[in-house]
Structure 1
């Protein structure tokens, strides 16, 4: 990972020598299949969740030096593998304004997964959901992001109820501190939850979540299972429900918060390591829905 003060806040320099990690993610599948638009001219190297070692810094950089282990916060318009060549390449250019030091006690695999997957969950739960101690919270969809989000909500001191039709993951959710799990969010209608975070986003999940929150409660939409849906405005208006969209916004403090939770032992993001030459097979497995958690490609020099 390089750090510097080049044009438009970009990093001047190159980096990521020694051991390197990049996450192979479902977003990469979306780029390859044309579901998620690419904002720069092709060709481009994918891989937007990267950690590594600083090899070179730009002029005027004082917060980072050669040899530092770092990770970069990401957002939709500024990230490796999104707005510039990414982590599947030999070097990565990063934005010094979003660069953070990797804590010594956090592995490369966990740090890579934290940069987007961890921060996406954190953003839905803390940044946009405002979840804090004493709240009653529903986490809708206990896949990789939802399970991470559930654990983050528990760590904030909330009572967490999971919503997930796949019973085989219920025990894992309870091991992470979830108090109980139901199959459908409609089972929580009238329970007056403070917040429901929808990591599924299939339209009807969001609509049903409105009935589960209290007057003035909040439904946070993270998942994009369905990109368009209709809902009745009556309950939305008469019960003063807040519907909040959520995505990562590239703040280093959010990534630092997730990394601290990992370093403190409060959070483990489910992941498995693969080698560089296994990336194509890994992306194929992601496309087929055969991956649980994140795949982390580790480059050892």
Structure 2
């Protein structure tokens, strides 16, 4: 396809079938809306899951859907009521629009809004297109020191910020992160930015742990096949000179990681679940109870998370560029998805149609 139309878009037709389509340029429906020309988009695990399975839980692809939600771009048009942005501003897109009226929205938990319209979550189209429209308050202006590539990675970084805020990581603390994929790596980086002095990354793949060392981790652990959760936990504590960590984050969704995290935590520690896994798992409830642990689920991001993520990048406290392993043109989007399916690369960026 020759991408000469007004709004070329990368569309999931059905499982393992994608195509490029010409879509209408989206209209500004509110005086507070902003039209953004998309310049960079990262591929997220959820995008890939829709591509390979057509569903995530109750979210099922029933009609063609534009993929992508980790994006940054340049403001192309603003509504008459927009005051914080102007044409030409570079922004990171927070890609979910809540209803603003429900109890969760009013309580500052808009990520839990049941009527959230989230990009590339059925039935809503995503950002792998030329133009996308958002309200101005869901566009975070990028400082001159932050590139559009970094701006695209603000989305997964905001997930890690939300996780770390829920954990309430304190300066001088010890944190263990299970799973060294993009979110796990960023959780390591944010934990360090929040003041953790010991950050242990756990993964089955040594190359991921090598990257974790570059990003922020101070200690590294590869589980031994056949070990129980208690045995793996004992080995992690030995790695830490016998000191159990106060905080554990699971970014893998693997039952073995969840169980090991509960076993490795110190008395009164805090556990945060960041990764999606099987709908149900066996859980070490006795260990959880006698340690009087605190546990949190974590879903996307909420008020202030995007802005803090941008500040962490602009200040140099988190270097998201280390995660970028591939850069492809918009026309090569399908090839990029196939690379992720094969497990190649960490974070692949797709340029916008005009890049």
Alignment TM-score, normalising by the size of structure 1: 0.87
Once the 2 structures are TM-superposed, how far is the Cα of residue 228 of structure 1 from its aligned partner? Answer: 1.7
Counterpart for residue 95 of structure 1: 135
CA separation in 1, counterparts of 2:144 and 2:353? 19
Find out whether 1:70 has 2:91 as its counterpart.
yes
CA separation in 2, counterparts of 1:96 and 1:299? 23
Counterpart for residue 108 of structure 1: 148
CA separation in 1, counterparts of 2:207 and 2:92? 33
Equivalent of residue 229 in structure 1, options 281, 291, 316: 281
Counterpart for residue 200 of structure 1: 252
Q: Is the 8 A contact 1:2 1:54 kept in 2?
A: no
Change (3 A) 1:39 1:13: farther
1:115-154 superposed matches below 5 A: 115=155, 117-124=156-163, 126-154=164-192
Higher relative contact order (CA 8 A, sep 6+): 1
Q: Is the 8 A contact 2:34 2:75 kept in 1?
A: no
Moved more, 34-43 or 138-147: 34-43
Counterpart for residue 191 of structure 1: 243
Once the 2 structures are TM-superposed, how far is the Cα of residue 92 of structure 1 from its aligned partner? Answer: 0.3
Counterpart for residue 205 of structure 2: 166
Change (3 A) 1:213 1:93: same
Q: Is the 8 A contact 1:3 1:96 kept in 2?
A: no
CA separation in 2, counterparts of 1:239 and 1:282? 44
Change (3 A) 1:279 1:140: same
CA separation in 2, counterparts of 1:3 and 1:242? 45
Measured on the aligned residues, the alpha-carbon RMSD in Å equals 2.6
Unaligned runs of 5+ in 1: none
CA separation in 2, counterparts of 1:2 and 1:155? 38
State the number of aligned residues: 293
Counterpart for residue 242 of structure 1: 294
Moved more, 270-279 or 170-179: 170-179
Change (3 A) 1:74 1:129: farther
CA separation in 1, counterparts of 2:205 and 2:336? 23
Q: Is the 8 A contact 1:26 1:287 kept in 2?
A: no
Equivalent of residue 333 in structure 2, options 276, 279, 284: 279
CA separation in 2, counterparts of 1:120 and 1:178? 18
Could you report, residue by residue, the CA deviation over 1:108-144 in whole angstroms, capped at 9, with x for unpaired residues? 11111112x11112222x2211112111111111122
Which one has the largest radius of gyration? 2
CA separation in 2, counterparts of 1:15 and 1:151? 29
Unaligned runs of 5+ in 2: 1-24, 97-110, 224-231
Once the 2 structures are TM-superposed, how far is the Cα of residue 282 of structure 1 from its aligned partner? Answer: 0.8
Once the 2 structures are TM-superposed, how far is the Cα of residue 4 of structure 1 from its aligned partner? Answer: 6.7
Moved more, 164-173 or 141-150: 164-173
Q: Is the 8 A contact 1:44 1:85 kept in 2?
A: yes
Q: Give 3-state SS (helix, strand or coil) of 2:328's partner.
A: strand
Q: Is the 8 A contact 1:98 1:250 kept in 2?
A: no
